[in-house]
Amino acid sequence: MAVMLKSRQEIAQLRQAGRIVAQTYEVLRPYVVPNATTAELDRIAEDYIRSQGAKPIYKGYGARPAKNGQPAIPAFPATICVAINDVICHGIPSPTQVLHEGDIIGIDIGVLYKGWVGDSCVTYAVGRIDSESQRLMEVAHRCMELGIEQGRSGKRMGDIGAAIQAYAEANGFSTVRELVGHGVGRSLHEDPPVLHFGQPGTGLRLRPGMVFSVEPMINAGGPELRWLGDGWTVCTADGSRSAQFEHTIAITDGAPELLTLP
């Protein structure tokens, strides 16, 4: 595993990219309403990101050739990933995908700004939602916060995952295991992987200069998932709802530093 430690100057540049991501969420928020389409949200996000001199990093990302009998996967075609209700992550925006009262939607945004990546995710309520969906969102957000609190020099990756898993399961929810957080730098996905479950005191020891995402995906039902035929969209296997929140953080000599704040 090749973990690239970042200097204070590099972390400052990552913070600039992260700030654009955070500001994009503020721009989007008034438009996440019933009858909006996810394609409209995608256009609004791309227009704002480009107006800030940044580039949507997901757009054109991740094309995979056919291999070992598996079909080729096209590059991701949009600026944002959308996850409505039982979609966990990586859903593709569409002009025919309409938001309805009571939905929840996770929006994942990544940008490249002056050679550095910003990456974050927010789950929104669409209009008035039921109490269980509200509780799911609150637990998912708290899971992220508890994971981030473990991001201190000398701690281990397992401490992050264990804090997330314990809180999710204590509230009757589950945490997705096949999909993980990741290092962030000049590339969208760097080492180390960040599991959202685990045992305290295990795994990679955290050191100042490490930068990575904490992005637990919390399911109302079981942790199992299924992939749709587009090669990107991931849903809960049992059809239950899923919520996700994500920040990119830097490990320091003290408290973890959040890099994706407005």
What is the structure's pLDDT at 1?
A: 80
Domain boundary assignment for the chain:
8-60+76-258
Element holding 168 (H helix, E strand): helix 157-170
Q: How far apart are CA 69 and CA 120, in angstroms?
A: 33
What is the structure's pLDDT at 63?
A: 85
Q: How far apart are CA 141 and CA 215, in angstroms?
A: 9
Q: Read off the pTM.
A: 0.96
Domain 8-60+76-258 fold is Creatine Amidinohydrolase (3.90.230)
For residue 37, give the DSSP letter: B
What is the structure's pLDDT at 37?
A: 98
What is the structure's pLDDT at 238?
A: 98
Q: Kindly give the parts of the chain with pLDDT less than 50.
A: none
Of the candidates 76, 182, 195, 50, the one whose C-alpha atom is nearest the C-alpha of residue 121 is 182
Apex 132 CA angle, 140 and 28, nearest 5: 55
Tokens of 100: 């309805």
Q: How far apart are CA 125 and CA 102, in angstroms?
A: 7
* Residue/partner pairs of 10-15 with CB below 8 Å, 24 or more apart: 10/116, 10/185, 11/209, 11/211, 11/250, 11/257, 11/259, 13/113, 13/114, 13/115, 13/116, 14/116, 14/117, 14/118, 14/184, 14/185, 14/211, 14/248, 14/250, 14/259, 15/257, 15/259
Q: Report cis status (omega within 30 of 0) of the bond before 77.
A: no
Give the number of other CB atoms < 10 A from CB of residue 97: 17
What is the structure's pLDDT at 107?
A: 98
End-to-end CA distance of the chain: 32
The two beta strands, 181-183 and 87-89, are unpaired
What is the structure's pLDDT at 123?
A: 98
What is the structure's pLDDT at 50?
A: 98
